[in-house]
Amino acid sequence: MERWTDQGIVLSARGHGEGGAIVALLTENNGRHAGYVHGAQSKNKRAMLEPGSQVKCDWSARDNESLGTYALEPEGGLPYGILDEPLKLAALLSACSLCDCALPEREGHTGLYHGLLQLMTSFESDYWAVSYVMWEISLLRELGFRLELDKCAAHGDPLTLEYVSPKSGRAVSRAEAAPYKEKLLVLPHFLRPNCNRADTAGDNEDVLIALKMTGHFLEHWVFAHHTKGVPEARLLFQQRFADMLPL
């Protein structure tokens, strides 16, 4: 009999069988891990199984290759007030969906687990959208796709970085980018050298530029060979963020 106990964040819950569900968690020590939850459709358990909820999980199975079952206890609900703020809720659902769809099963991602906890804490701040972008950059790095945004790919002035190569993920300086800047992604101001992040972190237009940048690499690096592509929740979050901006 295989068994372990851990802390987890609910990523998804898909109904299965007589009132049960297959629940995917991002756990602290066991990575993204799924298990069957009996009685998941009950009133008491439905709230605990919302994406973003924190739980204590006890997983058991006859062998390590089986789906196994979860016994779950609530450890923390959704971030305070998030159900009343559709854009923040869309960001949370996007993050959970990205983890659910992109992370390999049962591989350790302790740093990403704690990063997701920090992201949920950031929803109480004015700079939550920037925190979300930084979390996506961390997710890309965790999956082996590192963006190099601190020096020029063409050996240009690192203090004038303004663009990003859509192929390599490396920053490009203003002068080096000039002949072909239409083919490059824009580097958001809050990620440029010598930027006063306190002045730019609340700029929603700059955040949208950043979401388009990370979205490009999610599509072409992470989900390029996934049959369903980038999760719908991530696409919806970016669209809602764009719709929020004035015309």
Whole-number pLDDT of residue 193: 85
Is the same domain home to 236 and 122? yes
Cα 193 to chain centroid, rounded: 24
Is the same domain home to 55 and 87? no
What pLDDT, in 10s, does the model give residues 184-232?
999 999 999 877 655 555 689 999 999 999 999 999 999 999 889 999 9
Whole-number pLDDT of residue 197: 56
Using an 8 Å Cβ cutoff, are 234 and 215 in contact? Answer: yes
Q: What total number of domains does the chain contain? A: 2
CA-nearest of 123, 120, 169 to 143 is 169
Is the same domain home to 16 and 70? yes
Contacts of 15 (CB under 8 A, 6+ apart): 21, 40, 41
Is the same domain home to 52 and 146? no
Is the same domain home to 87 and 43? no
CATH of the domain at 142: 1.20.1440.120
Is the same domain home to 87 and 117? yes
Is the same domain home to 231 and 199? yes
Q: Which of 76, 104, 128 is at the close of a domain?
A: 76
Using an 8 Å Cβ cutoff, are 200 and 190 in contact? Answer: yes
Is the same domain home to 183 and 87? yes
CATH of the domain at 46: 2.40.50.140
Is the same domain home to 160 and 217? yes
Please give the average per-residue pLDDT across 150-164, as a whole number.
Answer: 93
Domain assignment of residue 173, given as a range: 82-244
CA-nearest of 142, 140, 162 to 152 is 162
Burial class (CB in 10 A: 0-12, 13-18, 19+), 71: middle
What pLDDT, in 10s, does the model give residues 73-92?
999 888 888 999 999 999 99
What pLDDT, in 10s, does the model give residues 24-76?
999 999 999 999 999 888 888 888 999 999 999 999 999 888 999 999 999 98
Is the same domain home to 131 and 69? no
Is the same domain home to 37 and 95? no
Is the same domain home to 33 and 95? no
Q: Which of 58, 76, 94 is at the close of a domain?
A: 76
Compute the distance between CA of residue 167 and CA of residue 165 in angstroms, rounded to an integer.
5
